[in-house]
């Protein structure tokens, strides 16, 4: 077993999940089964292989240029309004579960 019950608790904590006892038990079983399957990646020697984070790393415009220069088309002038106007305040908070109309309201953060 790669993952133990305490690992599930630790990872859930990192992910801001609580999980029920039943969910933790199931997670323990499923994560071990999936990670066992993933283990086959270690069969491959990748010491000299560069990692690939993005497809566009490989076909960015103008291959003769280096690094972010290849993606020069993606940059724009730094103008005041940006690409489009920001959402009006009332629209931006419209989906908020709790708002005073100016801010998003949340339960108390600091006890005093």
Partner 1 sequence: MIPGKEIAGKDAGLGAGLTIDEIRNAIMEERTTATALATDFYDRIRKEDPEIGAFLTLCQERALAQAGLIDQMAAEGQPLPPLAGVPVAIKDVMVTSGVRTTAGSKILDNFIPPYDCTAVARLEAAGAVILGKLNCDEFAMGSSNENSAYHPVHNPRDKSRVPGGSSGGSAAAVAAEMAVATLGSDTGGSIRQPASFCGVVGLKPTYGRVSRYGLIAFASSLDHIGPFAKTVKEVAQVLRTIAGRDPMDSTSAEVPVPDYVAELEKPVKDSGKTIKIGVAKEYFGSGLDPEVRAAVEAAIQKLAELGCEVVPVSLPHTEYAVPTYYIVATAEASSNLARYDGVRYGFRAKADNLSQMYRETRDGGFGMEVKRRIMLGTYALSAGYYDAYYLKAQKVRTLLTRDFDDAFKKVDVIAAPTCPTPAFKLGEKVNDPLAMYLADIYTVTANLAGIPGISVPCGENHEKLPIGLQLFARHFDEATLLRVAHAYERSSLGENRA
Binding-site ranges for partner 1 (CB under 8 A):
3, 7-8, 10-12, 14-20, 23, 26-27, 30-31, 33-35, 37-42, 44, 46, 49-56, 58-59, 61, 71, 73-74, 76, 83-84, 87, 91-98, 104, 106-109, 111
Between 80 and 84, whose beta carbon lies closer to partner 1? 84
Between 67 and 91, whose beta carbon lies closer to partner 1? 91
Cβ neighbours of residue 63 under 8 Å, at least 6 residues apart?
70
Between 44 and 66, whose beta carbon lies closer to partner 1? 44
Tell the smallest beta-carbon distance from residue 49 to partner 1 (Å). Answer: 4
CA–CA separation, 10 and 39 (whole Å): 21
- Give the three-class secondary structure for 104: strand
Cβ neighbours of residue 3 under 8 Å, at least 6 residues apart?
28, 31, 32, 35
Between 20 and 64, whose beta carbon lies closer to partner 1? 20
Longest CA–CA span in the chain (Å) reads 60
């Amino acid at each position: 077993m790669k993952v133990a019950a305490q690992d599930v608790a630790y990872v859930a904590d990192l992910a801001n999940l609580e999980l029920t006892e039943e969910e933790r038990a199931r997670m323990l079983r499923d994560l071990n089964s999936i990670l066992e399957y993933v283990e086959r990646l270690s069969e491959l020697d990748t010491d000299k292989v560069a990692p690939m984070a993005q497809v566009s790393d490989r076909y960015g415009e103008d291959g003769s240029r280096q690094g972010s220069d290849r993606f020069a088309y993606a940059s724009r002038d730094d103008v005041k309004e940006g690409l489009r106007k920001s959402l009006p305040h009332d629209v931006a908070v419209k989906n908020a579960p709790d708002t005073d109309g100016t801010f998003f309201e949340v339960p108390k953060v600091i006890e005093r």
